[in-house]
Amino acid sequence: MPDSPTIFGARGTEVFAGIPVRDFQVSLDWYQRLFGCAPAFFPNDREAVWAIGERRWIYIIVEPERAGGTIQTIMCDGLEKVIAEIAARGLRFSKEEMPDAGVRKVMYYDPDGNEVGIGRIPAE
């Protein structure tokens, strides 16, 4: 994607991607199993934040009226290893897409129905 245009003329410096949930403790437990670690920090008593890379964060926030409709996709190295590690923590993906050669995405659904996809694209 080197020739793709960037938003704000490439001035974006960090990303915080939010996932609204209904029940903080239920979601906290589920996301810790999915990500394999505790949150990096808790900004308050209704949010938990995980680092997914340098200057990239994903967080849950208690907002019951908005819960269940988000779609997030995290691209990673070693997808098969990540899937196996998540399975060892008791979670299985629900759907899978393979839209092109070497491209794969698996989808997990949290207790509210929010989709967290984990995928890979072929190395260039």
| CB 96, CB 106: distance < 8 Å | yes
Query: Whole-prediction pTM value?
Result: 0.91
How does residue 2 score in pLDDT terms, banded at 50, 70 and 90? low
For residue 48, what are the CA distances in angstroms to 22, 53, 70, 103, 106? 13, 16, 16, 30, 23
Q: What is the CATH number of domain 7-120?
A: 3.10.180.10
- How crowded is residue 85: how many other Cβ atoms within 10 Å of its Cβ? 12
Distance CA 1, CA 123 (A): 12
What's the confidence (pLDDT) of residue 40?
97
